[in-house]
Chain A
Amino acid sequence: MFFAVFKFELAYWFRRPLTLLFFAVFFLMAFFSTASDSFLNVGGTGQIHRNAPFILALAVAILTAIGQVITTAIAGTAVLRDEQIGSQELLFTTRMTKSGYLLGRFLGSFLVMLVIYVGLPLGLLIGMMMPWIDADKLGPIRMWAAFQPFFTIAVPNLFFVSALLFAIGALTRKLFAVYVTGIGVLLVWQITQQITGDLDKLTLASAIDPFAFTSITVITRYWSVAEKNAQLVPLHGALLANRLIWIAISLLLFGAVAAFFRLRLQQPRVSRKIREATRATPGAAPLNAVPIVTQVYRRSAWLRAVWSQARFQLRFVLREAPFLAITAIAVINIMISAWYQSHPGDSIRWPVTASLIPSLRDAMMLFIVLIATLYGGELTWRDRQLRGDQLQDALPAPSWVSFAGKLLAILGATIVLELAAIAGLMVMQLVQGYTHLQPLLYLEGLVFGVLPTMVAIAAIALGIHAIVNQKFVGHLFVIAYYIITLVLVRLGFNYRLWQVGAPLGFTYSDMNGWGPFLPRIFVLGTYSVAWALAIATLGYLVLPRGTVSGWGDRLTLARRRWRSGGFALVSLCAAIAIGAGGLFYYNANVLNQYVPVRQAEAVQKAIELEYRPLMNLAQPRIVAVSLRHEFYPARRAATWNGTMRTVNHDSRPVDTLFVDVPLSIPTPTDPYNTTSNDGMGLDSLTFDRPVTLIRDDTPRGIRLYRLATPMQPGDSLVMHFAGHFTPHGFPNGAFDQDVAANGSFMSSQYYPGFGYNEQNELADDDIRTRNGLKPRPRMKSIDDPTVRDNNYLRHDADFVAFDETACTSVDQIALAPGYLQSDSTINGRRCLHYVMDKPILDFSTTLSGRYVVDSVMHNGVMISVYHIPAHAFAVPSMIQAAKDGLDYFGTHFSPYQFRQYRVIEYPQYQTFAEAFANTIPFSEAIGFIYRNEPGDDKIDLAYFVTAHELAHQWWAHQVVGGDGQGATMFSEGLAEYSALTIMEKRDGPEVAQKFLRRELDGYLQGRSVEKKKEVPLLLVENQPYIHYRKGSLVFYALRDYIGEDAMNSALRAFLGKWAFKGPPYPTARDLYSEFEQVTPDSLKYVLKDLFLDMTFYDNKVDTATATRRPDGQYAVHLVLDAKKLKGDSLGNMAEVPIGDYVDVGVFGAHVNGQKLGKRLLVEKVHITQPVTVLDVVVPALPIKAGIDPYNILIDRTPEDNVTTVTIVTAPSTHH
């Protein structure tokens, strides 16, 4: 019996062309994921091979998740098909057995799926053999690397998903239940993706991901580049656990099916049947009693009928279980993502409405497309499926009445979906204790940010379904439409007019509202909606009415409709679309520049080829800067002028000035690749002596002047310049948001400078190679003597005298580095004059906004926080950080060089804080909405970042590194360390541990995706994962070994030698030698390990047992594994002999807020063997014990360092 059913199932699928289509789809997706750069690239960049085994595994996991749709079609319908085609009454009355039926159907469909999914490894394998792939992007081609994930990932995934959908189908006998379950599985997958933000929950996330994607990322999280290229993802640990869990769940599902499935028809729901009293029709009114009503057939009347149609159709949709289920899933999803969004890392942010508005777009778009696709098809087909079409088609209403009604109903359904999401978000805000609800702001976000896209999506979905006139194919076309719009962007078609119905780009800021986005939203929204309506109208034209079905009949209908308004409507839509498109083009290409990626790269390449030879041209040095800034916030405009006094510090005379003119050079890093500075222009550039402009390449940002008389060494020259920023319209890409209606934040890049700027060159090796340029070193070697000639901020200035007058509208405050000299309002303009009383780095900022100011005087330093009234949450933390930092750094490093410290909020168009001299622009998104309430027990990031920027007043503004390797080691690395130090002093070592655990994660993950080469900290090449993440780990460890006093004395000495000095600038070696001075010989190896090498440990506690001694103390017996490894630049690791001092710790009773418990014993033990057996005595009951318990050393499995102590009774021989 089983075999017959099984064979039938196979025959059924293998005879269908759909099966071949599915196979082709998988084969091609897999093929392109290895054969093409831009399709489904899950991490094959830089040094990681495109066919690295873990990438193949990830591709298989993702493609099986995407393939869910197909699994639903095959396994989900295996038991539902009979009901659909109405054969179940015949089938169930045969002698077929239940087990034969179920097993046959399941295994049959499962086998079909396996055959289809074999397309994956085949596609991957053949894709990587394609001749066009760069040889150095490709590792060895190993068949097993493609097939192993098929067996470890794909087969179990398919087994589980098939079992689940099969079981749901068998138990509910409802196709929609199967669909919804399918979506639910994807949701679980989504959730696991978000949980991975929480390091403590990685194991959980790995376990519950039904597609094992997370398991693979957890296993390979800390793999180095070399390991990723070489190793297969092994079926053990997290992955094995995941596979076992899901197979077990699948078996349980089978059990449920076996127990509850019956070979019976589903019981009709009798209760809902209406039992009508079988009475005659006494006194039914004669028909002429039916009132005569007015029937109106005018277009205006039909337009009114559209509304009632829309309500009717919407009422139908809103009662549909699939709609309700999708809405529920969408709301759960957005609530979870909102939760994780306000808990980044180990910190908490207030869930302010402004930060949640983008999720109405980002988290909901998938569901909007889903609803539109599903109900576009349903509403198109519902009438026909229910056989209501003939009833309806014979009515006088034109077809467009119900068609338009359906369009509005789909739109209405998506609006209901969004409103439910908004309600969910507000619940989530309340749950987090945030009571400042802003429902109107949500609605604004919905209407401006998402609604145009929703209208377009609804119209496109309905239009495609009407044109295709085949439900399943229609679904495929609609989904294909969206996939294509997504892929187009990745393929470089980033011009927004290509993307009809795509999400609109915007950032909403509490500080600056919608900023400049609304006009672009309006134009693009109109454009999208008009095209979409044109598509919908075309759909309407060929919409069948009556029994017509062939294209001939439909075109006849279309001709009639075309004449009676169709033409007019299509023309109108097209005209509006073309008009809006033209307006967009005018804004993006005429008022602004649109430069495609490759073109922008070509420009930079040309500049490099032409001007790099002039790099060593002798240039004057800026010694004094005087600026005047005028902000016009209402117009989002600014003008400025300034004077720079320069001196020739070179030994050669300067005869030619190489002026770096600030201007709109497109940056290829912007995903939409347009220049952002189109409103910017240079108005004048003059000198205090005769010059000849010998080359005017202003469009590319360069001017060369010949001096009438060369500047001799020591001569000075004054340059005057003026410029403006006046935005025109809107660009295709990112807006220049530096000047804003509220919260302007401009910096020195708007002013001219001297000399060829190497930092503008194309940097990425891949990009250089494709432009025919040789890869270049990221930085000068630390040992190149010219490194000391310039600081790493700029090459044309050292410490300069500085003053600035900043003017703005009367309601705003303008700020610049320096001390306020005057604040006057003349003619409705408020001007503030700032002067620095000592030289600073030539690195300044000018800000303007409507701020409230919280100030506090602390030991002669004015601490001020400038913020908007709504963002007062973190101000106390920021002020506290400034006080603590001023105290500690001022005492232990060197005196603070300023009399003020100002933190100034700016809108969340960028998300960083930056340290200028005593002036810290700080994004609203990262500091100001962070939460630190008593009992939160999290990292107070507002405190930390404020302290970090304060520390930069020493580490950058007092000593700044020469422009080469290692420069950021002591600016960023020490800033991170200094901030951590005061945070640890305030919040305790537990918080520091938590913080360091995140830093460790950041470092290990960063190196695993390194694009060029990993280097030791001393040679860091501006790599954030090294200078921030490894920096704090290394300095913290160093302090742990040599002690705080020695550490501080080295830092003091370093500052004493190098602070406030121009060239020669220090390098990381200078700091290293200070550390050498204070490090005892026995620990010199630590210095080398930390700074000169890439050192890793694999420490582990093997066993920990304890026995109570008669004196009440405990003898603890420890077996510890220790392994030390050194890595190379690609992450190849080699074990080296160990001879290191490593902490061994024993901990007792639980102490609140401490992970390890009461510290009973922690001491550094000289470990010289891979396995160390250690016996120690502690005074109280030990609970936990282990090696390097505080994770001072870099260890890729830090969680196995500590274990719970087993208490054993004393051996009897002692008695």
Chain B
Amino acid sequence: MSLRIEHLSKTYANGVRALHDVSLAIPAGMFGLLGPNGAGKSTLMRTIATLQTPDRGTIHLGDIDVLARPDDVRKVLGYLPQEFGFYPNLSAEVVLDHFATLKGVVHAGERKELVHALLQQVNLWDARKKAVGGFSGGMKQRLGIAIALSGSPRLLIVDEPTAGLDPIERHRFLNLLAEIGEEVIVILSTHIVEDVRELCRTMAIIAAGQVILQGDPQQVLDDVRGRIWRKKVGKSEVAALKNQMQVISMRLVAGEPVVHVYSEQSPGDGFTAVEPVLEDVYFYRVGEPALTER
């Protein structure tokens, strides 16, 4: 089963063009959706998750027309939105039970079993009786994924799940995602490039509502291998360098700027070739905000 998105466009009432002719083919397995803030990731995710309707375009999950038959999609959908919350004065167990009911798990015994298994799975067993109002960000996120995972979804959408998590929590969370079966389509939207590299078999980058790249992370890296160069420069040189070559990123390392540039050949003096990472691809494609400023 795969998810096919064709020519999806959405313009908000305030004129913001959130999606522009987006077409994606997403196979089973983990799919990474990268993009800067405001690129249209969440709009795309919400649209796939039946929460929003596009102006144009189609989405098909296998042979389900998502836009025409949202109810059928919801039966196989697990969705973890970017921001969410729970009734603070209720316990994790009660909250999970509540959502399981709404997933159609009507048999009380089965539901209890499911809730318990999920709580253990996401390592919230010990905290199951605690009010969720007191949960940390990571715990909340894990409860969220437990909700998304309940009822064995075949399409799982997680929107920026690791934003705001500390490294330990982030790993814990990604490990959870990694456990999900091969046959499930998992769409992971993020602006943390590392998440995608670690987990995803396919990926896409969108910016300003458009898909600017899609493919296999490895292949994407192969495309730029040997064309990314690095150099420590003086602060005064940066401006000049930008005029001369395609600087894709600049960061301060111990107070001194280090630039990455994209070049088919060695840009010369002082530049060393580096093994590209996904971040380089991302910056190359999207453009580092600091550098695109005028």
A interface vs B, CB < 8 Å? 272-274, 276-278, 280-281, 284-297, 301-302, 304-305, 308-309, 312, 315-316, 319-320, 382, 386-388, 390-398, 401-402, 545-548, 550, 553, 556
Contacts of B168 in A (CB 8 A): 278
Contacts of A320 in B (CB 8 A): 89
Whether B51 lies near A290 (C-beta < 8 A) is no
Q: Does B99 contact A (CB under 8 A)?
A: yes
The 8 closest A-B pairs by CB, nearest first: A546-B51, A386-B85, A394-B79, A397-B102, A295-B104, A390-B81, A396-B74, A395-B102
Contacts of A281 in B (CB 8 A): 123, 172, 175
B69-105 vs A, CB cutoff 8 Å, 1 = contact: the mask equals: 0010011010111011111111000100111111111
**Selected contact of B102 from candidates A382, A392, A550, CB within 8 Å:** A392
6 CB contacts below 8 A, A to B, read A293-B110, A293-B111, A388-B85, A395-B74, A397-B101, A556-B53
Contacts of B88 in A (CB 8 A): 386
- Name B47-74 residues within 8 Å CB distance of A: 49-53, 71, 74
Find the B residue at minimum CB distance from A318.
B89
Q: Does B209 contact A (CB under 8 A)?
A: no
Taking the nearest CB of chain A, how far is it from the CB of B115, in angstroms? 10
Taking the nearest CB of chain B, how far is it from the CB of A384, in angstroms? 10
Q: With contacts A281-B172, A316-B89 known, is A398 near B134, CB below 8 A? A: no
Q: With contacts A391-B81, A550-B13 known, is A296 near B149, CB below 8 A? A: no
Contacts of A296 in B (CB 8 A): 104, 106-107
Q: With contacts A291-B110, A309-B98, A387-B81 known, is A546 near B136, CB below 8 A? A: no
Whether A285 lies near B117 (C-beta < 8 A) is yes
**Selected contact of A290 from candidates B84, B106, B117, CB within 8 Å:** B117
Q: With contacts A287-B180, A308-B101, A553-B53 known, is A294 near B117, CB below 8 A? A: no
Whether B123 lies near A284 (C-beta < 8 A) is yes
- Name B157-197 residues within 8 Å CB distance of A: 157, 168, 172, 175-176, 179-181
Name which of B125-133, B217-225, B270-278 contacts chain A. Answer: B125-133
Whether B136 lies near A287 (C-beta < 8 A) is no
How far is B74's CA from A401's CA once the two chains are assembled, in angstroms? 14
B interface vs A, CB < 8 Å? 13, 46, 49-53, 71, 74-75, 77, 79-81, 83-90, 94, 97-107, 110-111, 113-114, 117-118, 120-123, 126-127, 130-131, 133-136, 139, 144, 147, 149, 151-152, 157, 168, 172, 175-176, 179-181
Contacts of A394 in B (CB 8 A): 49-51, 74, 77, 79, 81, 157
Taking the nearest CB of chain A, how far is it from the CB of B258, in angstroms? 33
Whether A284 lies near B121 (C-beta < 8 A) is yes
Taking the nearest CB of chain B, how far is it from the CB of A179, in angstroms? 18
Whether B105 lies near A295 (C-beta < 8 A) is yes
Whether B103 lies near A397 (C-beta < 8 A) is yes
Whether B79 lies near A274 (C-beta < 8 A) is no
Contacts of B98 in A (CB 8 A): 308-309, 312
How far is B12's CA from A548's CA once the two chains are assembled, in angstroms? 11
Whether A395 lies near B117 (C-beta < 8 A) is no
**Selected contact of B51 from candidates A289, A295, A304, A545, CB within 8 Å:** A545
Contacts of B126 in A (CB 8 A): 276-277
Whether B120 lies near A395 (C-beta < 8 A) is no
Q: With contacts A295-B103, A394-B79, A550-B13 known, is A290 near B152, CB below 8 A? A: yes
Whether B114 lies near A388 (C-beta < 8 A) is no
Contacts of A547 in B (CB 8 A): 46, 51-52
Find the A residue at minimum CB distance from B122.
A284
Contacts of A550 in B (CB 8 A): 13
Whether B87 lies near A316 (C-beta < 8 A) is yes
Q: With contacts A272-B134, A391-B84 known, is A291 near B46, CB below 8 A? A: no
Whether A305 lies near B120 (C-beta < 8 A) is no
Contacts of A304 in B (CB 8 A): 106
Q: With contacts A274-B134, A312-B94 known, is A396 near B71, CB below 8 A? A: yes
How far is B165's CA from A413's CA once the two chains are assembled, in angstroms? 38
Taking the nearest CB of chain B, how far is it from the CB of A290, in angstroms? 5
Whether A391 lies near B80 (C-beta < 8 A) is yes
Q: With contacts A272-B134, A312-B94, A396-B74 known, is A290 near B149, CB below 8 A? A: yes
How far is B77's CA from A547's CA once the two chains are assembled, in angstroms? 17
Whether B101 lies near A305 (C-beta < 8 A) is yes
Whether A390 lies near B123 (C-beta < 8 A) is no
Whether B85 lies near A396 (C-beta < 8 A) is no
How far is B95's CA from A392's CA once the two chains are assembled, in angstroms? 11
**Selected contact of A386 from candidates B87, B100, B113, CB within 8 Å:** B87
Majority secondary structure, A binding face: loop
How far is B223's CA from A19's CA once the two chains are assembled, in angstroms? 63
Whether A388 lies near B103 (C-beta < 8 A) is no
How far is B116's CA from A291's CA once the two chains are assembled, in angstroms? 10
How far is B111's CA from A284's CA once the two chains are assembled, in angstroms? 20
How far is B84's CA from A273's CA once the two chains are assembled, in angstroms? 18
Taking the nearest CB of chain A, how far is it from the CB of B172, in angstroms? 6
Contacts of A545 in B (CB 8 A): 51
Whether A548 lies near B52 (C-beta < 8 A) is yes
Whether B121 lies near A287 (C-beta < 8 A) is yes
Find the B residue at minimum CB distance from A270.
B134
Taking the nearest CB of chain A, how far is it from the CB of B49, in angstroms? 5
Whether A390 lies near B51 (C-beta < 8 A) is yes
Taking the nearest CB of chain B, how far is it from the CB of A277, in angstroms? 8
Taking the nearest CB of chain B, how far is it from the CB of A406, in angstroms? 12
Whether B83 lies near A276 (C-beta < 8 A) is no
How far is B123's CA from A387's CA once the two chains are assembled, in angstroms? 23
Whether A390 lies near B87 (C-beta < 8 A) is no
Whether A293 lies near B101 (C-beta < 8 A) is no
Whether B118 lies near A395 (C-beta < 8 A) is no
Find the B residue at minimum CB distance from A385.
B85
Find the A residue at minimum CB distance from B177.
A287
Whether B46 lies near A391 (C-beta < 8 A) is no
Taking the nearest CB of chain B, how far is it from the CB of A299, in angstroms? 11
How far is B103's CA from A655's CA once the two chains are assembled, in angstroms? 89
Contacts of B117 in A (CB 8 A): 285, 289-291
Q: With contacts A290-B114, A291-B113, A316-B90 known, is A387 near B104, CB below 8 A? A: no
Whether A305 lies near B51 (C-beta < 8 A) is no
How far is B142's CA from A342's CA once the two chains are assembled, in angstroms? 58
Whether B136 lies near A274 (C-beta < 8 A) is yes
Whether B84 lies near A387 (C-beta < 8 A) is yes
Contacts of B172 in A (CB 8 A): 280-281
Q: With contacts A276-B136, A545-B51, A548-B52 known, is A390 near B84, CB below 8 A? A: yes
Whether B84 lies near A388 (C-beta < 8 A) is yes
How far is B53's CA from A553's CA once the two chains are assembled, in angstroms? 9
Taking the nearest CB of chain A, how far is it from the CB of B132, in angstroms? 9
How far is B82's CA from A547's CA once the two chains are assembled, in angstroms? 13
Contacts of A286 in B (CB 8 A): 179
Contacts of A308 in B (CB 8 A): 97-98, 101
Contacts of B51 in A (CB 8 A): 390, 393-394, 545-547
Whether B46 lies near A546 (C-beta < 8 A) is yes
How far is B175's CA from A686's CA once the two chains are assembled, in angstroms? 102
Find the B residue at minimum CB distance from A545.
B51
Find the B residue at minimum CB distance from A289.
B117
Q: With contacts A291-B114, A291-B117, A308-B97 known, is A390 near B46, CB below 8 A? A: yes
Whether A396 lies near B87 (C-beta < 8 A) is no
How far is B86's CA from A272's CA once the two chains are assembled, in angstroms? 16
How far is B81's CA from A392's CA once the two chains are assembled, in angstroms? 10
Q: With contacts A273-B134, A284-B123, A553-B53 known, is A294 near B110, CB below 8 A? A: yes
* Residue from B46, B102, B147, B152 whose CB has the most chain A CB atoms within 10 Å: B102
